[in-house]
Amino acid sequence: MVVYKRKKVNRYRGHSNHGGGARKKRRGAGSRGGRGMAGTGKRAGQKKAGMPLVLGKHGFRPLRTVSVERIISVGYFTSEKVNRLLSEGKAVKEGQFVSLDLGKLGYTKLLGTGKTTQKLKITVASCSKSAVEKIKAAGGDVVAENPAA
């Protein structure tokens, strides 16, 4: 025979804890300021285990202080790409050289990954040593404000 048994929690009505046991039981994460490391910011001087002593030392920097470099490699300048740049008017043929201003194309740095056989005369803000060597080996020249940066 099945006997209906009332839940014990129903009998706690009127008691100050309502069957929740000790004072802070059954409270969510709100009583401790969030779960995990949440709520451990710069307040009240409380210390939690494992917290760094200085808050706010590391993190994101505003975009106005970050200089964004747009990088391109020597391997980009294949014969097809150079011909396309010439046809679009972004490069100029000067004798046997193809002259490129990477600043006008939106690039700030030239790196030496890859190889090229084109005779290029490149103007750029900064470049690596290997990029200069590879362009000169192909018979070209690099004009840079900050060479080998």
pLDDT tens, position by position, 126-140: 999 999 999 999 999
Residue 117 lies in a domain: yes
State residue 85's pLDDT score: 93
25 within some domain: no
pLDDT for 6 equals 75
**What is the per-residue pLDDT for 74?**
94
Tally DSSP H helices, then E strands, for the chain. Answer: 3, 6
Radius of gyration of the chain (CA): 34
Residue 66 forms part of a structural domain: no
| β-pairing verdict for 97-101 and 91-94 | antiparallel
Domain contains 52: no
Domain that holds residue 124: 71-146
The partner residues of 146 in beta bridges, in order of sequence, read 126
Q: Which residues, in sequence order, are CB contacts of 109 under 8 Å at separation 6+?
A: 69, 70, 71, 72, 124, 125, 126, 127, 128, 149
| Residue ranges, the chain, pLDDT below 70 | 8-28, 30-33, 36-58, 148-149
Residue 5 belongs to some domain of the structure: no
Domain-embedded: residue 123: yes
pLDDT given at position 80: 92
In the chain, the number of structural domains is 1
Instruction: Tell me what pLDDT residue 149 has.
Output: 55
